[in-house]
Amino acid sequence: RTALRAVNYHPGFKSFVSCFGVFGFAFKEPRRGLIGGSLRFWHRKHLDFDEAGVDVIHHVSFFPRVPTCLILADPAVIKEVTSHRALFPKPLYHELRLWGGNIIASEGDEWKRHRKVGAPAFSEPNNRPVWNETVKIMVDLFDNVWGSQDTIIVDHVVDALTLPVALFVISVAGFGKNASWQSDLLPPSGHKLSFKDAIHVVSVDMFIQVVTPTFLWKLAPTKRIADVKLGFEELEKYMLEMVEERRNAPKKEERYDLFSSLLDASDSDADGGARLTDRELLGNIFIFLLAGHETTAHSLAFTFGLLAMHQDYQEKLYQHVKSAIPDGRLPTYEEMNKLTECMAVFYETLRLFPPVVGVPKVVAENTTLVATDFTGKRRAIPVAAGSDIHISILALHYNPRYWDEPHAFKPERFHGNWPRDASLPLMAGPRACLGRRFFETEGIAILTMLVSRYKIELKDEPAFSHETYEERWDRLFTVKQGITLA
């Protein structure tokens, strides 16, 4: 009652266990009144807001504590929150400080220092190498793995295709770590896991490390804990090897990639500029590797699924790619801006399946947010210092006030004029995604190359031959919610 009074009895929903944080992830499926469930937003999309008649609602829960959380799907209110970083900072994301402080899991001056080190590597001159490396990785896949086969059957699109591609691209373009389909999918000597498997285990199961007490972690009494522990140990070993290899490499040329910026900042002889400790160096290597491939891999997988379900659109995309790059040669970085249809397909995929479904903020000082309800009335919602805010990217992307037929796949809506403030898969304001252009560059290169050579279809399986379109959609797009929507 106190929590409800604090928000002027503004509409919303309550549950015993919160939808957010570690418990939201532990109990994912919502149960009426009892469990909030992190998947609530996936199931409900914009429905809670439709029922409330306004695009700002509250969530009150009792466990693990009694926070008042405002959930936002209103572009104007979201803009207000994302553009005032000091008034609405990010929580610290302790779960993501596994090796040390880093650019994603930090705030204030600490974040400024990390951003100063990382940002230059994402400026325009570094996009061309991202494109060129992506093209090389795709050519290696086509020529040396898929070869002359007419039909390639991929049983698990993320594991076998999009995850390795995205990991290879960030490894090579961000860290100068050479990648090849022949060697990188198996553990090299001295390792028990491949680099891909080590980072995958950690990204999927990092919460196990967070919730396991230290003595149990050391003992690793169950197979699950032992597997995750091995993943952590192996990933740390890979990261330390990368650091050592680059530090000991003869200086043949000046490099300006992300890894160089991070290493320079952690060099004890470095004078001036932003500095990183050794733990922060590992913290950032981990977070850039993670942020640089996990979201991209799942977005590409959803894109291929959507194109497989919409053959008409895939044909349109194919014709577009053929007219932009007519003679079947490899696409060049200069041609990227011509590939507008690929971009529209990505934006629409990210609208329907935003990898980051919501972004948390906290309220630093007592303030008031003003939302306009569906009858046009302005409502002032008081928010006390210490309250939580959750920007629901999912609800925003399915908001029928901004998107016509929000559940339909219609990439054409991203040509011409579209409501930019209602599409925020990469967030906005000073804490917006640093890798936006990196993702767009690698994504367009991958999509262009794949659709120009292959037609993406769902595998014919007799067990599913009588499925309706809706049943097929549900089977194909059953989501899992880890650190990203998968």
List the binding residues: 433
Name residue 59's beta-bridge partners: 13, 69
Please report whether residue 283 would count as binding ligand HEM according to CB under 6 A: no
Please report whether residue 292 would count as binding ligand HEM according to CB under 6 A: yes
102, 283 in Cβ contact below 8 A? yes
Sign of CA dihedral 483, 74, 103, 99: negative
CA distance 477 to 486: 9
CB-nearer residue toward ligand HEM: 172 or 324: 172
Residues 6+ apart with CB under 8 A from 119: 434
Q: Which of 239, 291, 343, 449 binds ligand HEM (CB under 6 A)?
A: 291
Please report whether residue 103 would count as binding ligand HEM according to CB under 6 A: yes
Secondary structure of 67-115 in HEC code, one letter for each residue: CEEEEECCHHHHHHHHHCCCCCCCCCCHHHCCCCCCCCCCCHHHHHHHH
CB-nearer residue toward ligand HEM: 296 or 448: 296
Residues 6+ apart with CB under 8 A from 332: 131
Q: Which of 435, 450, 456, 486 binds ligand HEM (CB under 6 A)?
A: 435
Interface positions, 338-357, toward ligand HEM (CB under 6 A): 350, 355-356
- Measured CA to CA in angstroms, residue 204 lies from 25, 198, 222 at distances of 12, 10, 17
* β-bridge pairing 68-72 and 56-63: antiparallel
Sheet holding 68-72, edge to edge: 12-17, 56-63, 68-72, 388-392, 358-362
Please report whether residue 425 would count as binding ligand HEM according to CB under 6 A: yes
Please report whether residue 439 would count as binding ligand HEM according to CB under 6 A: yes
CB-nearer residue toward ligand HEM: 194 or 296: 296
Q: How far is the CB of 121 from ligand HEM (least distance, A)?
A: 9
Q: Report, in angstroms and rounded to the nearest whole number, the Rg of the chain calculated over CA atoms.
A: 23
Q: Which of 10, 97, 413, 431 binds ligand HEM (CB under 6 A)?
A: 431
Q: Which stretch binds ligand HEM (CB under 6 A): 30-38, 57-65, 145-153, 432-440?
A: 432-440
Q: How far is the CB of 184 from ligand HEM (least distance, A)?
A: 18
Interface positions, 110-139, toward ligand HEM (CB under 6 A): 115
Return binding residues for heme: 433
Q: Count of residues binding ligand HEM (CB under 6 A)? A: 24
CB-nearer residue toward ligand HEM: 232 or 438: 438
Please report whether residue 285 would count as binding ligand HEM according to CB under 6 A: no
Residues 6+ apart with CB under 8 A from 388: 20, 67, 68, 69, 70, 91, 360, 361, 362, 363
Collapsed DSSP state (helix, strand, coil) of residue 324: helix
Q: How far is the CB of 154 from ligand HEM (least distance, A)?
A: 20
Q: Which of 438, 445, 450, 451 binds ligand HEM (CB under 6 A)?
A: 438
Name residue 386's beta-bridge partners: none
Please report whether residue 75 would count as binding ligand HEM according to CB under 6 A: no
Please report whether residue 39 would count as binding ligand HEM according to CB under 6 A: no
Please report whether residue 164 would count as binding ligand HEM according to CB under 6 A: no
CA distance 260 to 270: 12
Q: Which is nearest to 247 in space by CA: 194, 285, 286, 290? A: 285
CA distance 342 to 353: 16
Please report whether residue 299 would count as binding ligand HEM according to CB under 6 A: yes
92, 106 in Cβ contact below 8 A? yes
Interface positions, 356-375, toward ligand HEM (CB under 6 A): 356, 359
Please report whether residue 433 would count as binding ligand HEM according to CB under 6 A: yes
**Six-digit token pair at 29?**
């499926």
Q: Which of 79, 84, 85, 90 binds ligand HEM (CB under 6 A)?
A: 90
Q: Which of 104, 239, 262, 324 binds ligand HEM (CB under 6 A)?
A: 104
CB-nearer residue toward ligand HEM: 115 or 128: 115
Interface positions, 166-225, toward ligand HEM (CB under 6 A): 170
Please report whether residue 295 would count as binding ligand HEM according to CB under 6 A: yes
Nearest residue (beta carbon) to ligand HEM: 435
Please report whether residue 41 would count as binding ligand HEM according to CB under 6 A: no
55, 399 in Cβ contact below 8 A? yes
* Site of interaction with ligand HEM (CB under 6 A): 90, 103-104, 115, 170, 288, 291-292, 295-296, 299, 350, 355-356, 359, 425-427, 431, 433-435, 438-439
